């Protein structure tokens, strides 16, 4: 059976032809599948009853249902999406200057093992299917209404997006298709901890924004914090950033989590300024968001401001990003699902 919401428009056209139909019939079904509120093939009014039956026998429609919701005092909404196998994945809708950004997950858990990330403590559970990645966007619109439709999408939720590359790239295709969810690729950003081959492939295959979870300016510090740096050290990562194809006015975003006494000194700031020289970039500084069991603390705002000044004096655009949703564990690095506890809670 075919997971219909994992098919791109082209995939549906090819399926229609295989079924002995015209390609435009596939486009019709594809368009309907990404309309909010579609309950099943019976709701596709411009197909004959016979065609609806044929499609319904060929596959199924994956539906993500919001089974948990928490709202922050700052307007952030954390949503738990129930998956067909009983697992759950989290996403976050963040209000920003009159628009909303949806933080989308690509895996249940994560295998990257970054020491400062609560999601990493889950370990890797499984990849999300294309339908489950793109479906988070549709589910938010269905659950909260068109008035909460996000303007921007960031693949910065649970998991390493580029470790689920094939499903990610198809989801981006669906999300950005005018007959799909219709998001501009200029409003889509993919974050990575530094999987260099997949990063370069992304640059060739999808004109989307790129964010690098950097967090340290030297291999010794980064390797202690992020195991991926042993596989792809900074020299390789920076070479990939310099080779990354950027469309006009695009810059690579470097995310830098400030950890007191670990990576927040003035010397670290100077090293960072030197490391990024020549790369069209902007830098987001993030004060560490505390999570249970993680042995780090955030530096003071004065220290963060001093770090920012060094970079700004070197000519960089630098923002100290205000974390939102901390009171509901929805801030950067805080997403986490207790699978064992969740499974127990959902047992009949």
From 90, 129, 132, 255, the catalytic residue:
90
Main-chain dihedrals φ then ψ at residue 132, nearest 5 degrees: -80, -25
Q: Is 332 a catalytic residue?
A: yes
Query: Among 139, 160, 151, 128, which residue's Cα sits nearest to residue 80?
Result: 139
Strands (E), 72-182: 77-82, 88-96, 99-103, 107-109, 124-127, 152-155
Residue 64 CB coordination number (10 Å)? 26
β-pairing, 99-103 vs 152-155, is parallel
> How close are the terminal C-alpha atoms of the chain, in Å?
28
Q: List, in order, residues 6 or more apart from 334 with CB less than 8 Å away.
A: 118, 289, 291, 325, 326
| Separation CA 348–CA 345 (nearest Å) | 8
Any bridge partners for residue 335, and if so which? none
Q: Which of 114, 117, 193, 332 is catalytic?
A: 332
Helix, strand, coil shares, percent, the chain, to 5 = 40, 20, 40
Give whole-number Cα distances, 294 to 105, 114, 212, 259, in Å.
Answer: 21, 11, 22, 11
Q: Which residues have a catalytic role annotated? A: 90, 332
């Amino acid at each position: 059976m075919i997971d219909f919401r994992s098919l791109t428009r082209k995939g549906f056209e090819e399926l229609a032809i295989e079924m002995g139909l015209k390609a435009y019939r596939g486009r019709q079904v594809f368009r309907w599948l990404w309309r909010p509120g579609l309950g099943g093939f019976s709701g596709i009014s411009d197909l004959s009853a016979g065609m609806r039956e044929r499609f319904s026998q060929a596959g199924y429609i994956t539906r993500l249902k919001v089974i948990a919701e928490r709202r922050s005092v700052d307007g952030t909404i954390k949503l738990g999406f129930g998956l067909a196998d009983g697992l759950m994945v989290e996403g976050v809708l963040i209000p920003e200057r009159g628009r909303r950004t949806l933080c989308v997950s690509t895996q249940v858990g994560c295998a990257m093992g970054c020491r400062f990330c609560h999601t990493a403590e889950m370990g890797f559970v499984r990849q999300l299917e294309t339908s489950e990645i793109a479906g988070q966007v549709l589910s938010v619109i269905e659950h909260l209404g068109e008035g909460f439709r996000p303007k921007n999408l960031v693949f910065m939720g649970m998991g390493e997006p580029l470790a689920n590359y094939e499903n990610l790239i198809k989801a981006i295709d669906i999300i950005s298709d005018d007959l799909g969810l219709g998001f501009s690729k200029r409003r889509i950003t993919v974050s990575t901890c530094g999987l260099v081959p997949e990063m370069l492939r992304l640059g060739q295959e999808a004109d989307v924004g790129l964010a690098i979870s950097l967090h340290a300016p030297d291999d010794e510090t980064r390797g202690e914090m992020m195991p991926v740096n042993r596989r792809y050290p900074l020299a390789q990562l920076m070479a990939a950033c310099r080779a990354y194809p950027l469309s006009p006015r695009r810059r690579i975003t470097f995310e830098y989590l400030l950890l007191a006494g670990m990576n927040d000194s003035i010397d670290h700031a100077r090293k960072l300024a030197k490391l990024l020289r020549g790369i069209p970039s902007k830098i987001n500084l993030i004060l560490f968001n505390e999570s249970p069991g993680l042995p780090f603390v955030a530096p003071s705002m004065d220290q963060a401001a001093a770090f920012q000044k060094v970079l700004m004096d070197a000519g960089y655009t630098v923002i100290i990003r205000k974390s939102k949703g901390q009171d509901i564990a929805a801030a950067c690095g805080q997403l986490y699902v207790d699978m064992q506890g969740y499974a127990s809670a959902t047992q009949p």
